[in-house]
Amino acid sequence: MDPQVFYTELTACRRCPRLVAWREEVGQKKRAAYREWTYWARPVPGFGDLGARILIFGLAPGAHGSNRTGRPFTGDASGDFLYPALYRAGLASQPSSTHRGDGLRLKGVYITAAVRCVPPGNKPTPAELAACAGWTRGELAFLPHLRVYLALGRVAHQALLDLFGLRRSAYPFAHGAEHPLPGGVLLDAYHVSRQNTQTGRLTAAMLDAVLLRAKALAGL
CATH number of the domain where residue 69 is located:
3.40.470.10
8: exposed, middle or buried (Cβ count in 10 Å: 0-12, 13-18, 19+): exposed
- Supply the pLDDT for residue 130: 97
Give the whole-angstrom CA distance, residue 43 versus residue 145: 25
For the whole model, what pTM was predicted?
Answer: 0.96
> Total structural domains in the chain?
1
Range of the domain at 31: 3-218
Model pLDDT, residue 149: 98
Say if CB 132 and CB 162 are below 8 A apart: no
What three-state secondary structure class fits 91? coil
pLDDT means per 10 residues in the chain (220 residues)? 91 97 93 91 97 98 96 96 98 96 96 98 96 96 96 97 95 97 95 96 98 97
Residue 2's pLDDT is: 87
- CA neighbours within 13 Å on the CB side: how many for 198? 6
CA 170/CA 166 separation, integer angstroms: 8
Which residue, among 3, 82, 97, 115, has the nearest Cα to 49 in the 3D structure? 3
Angle at 45 between CA 182 and CA 200, to 5 degrees: 75
Q: pLDDT value at position 7?
A: 94
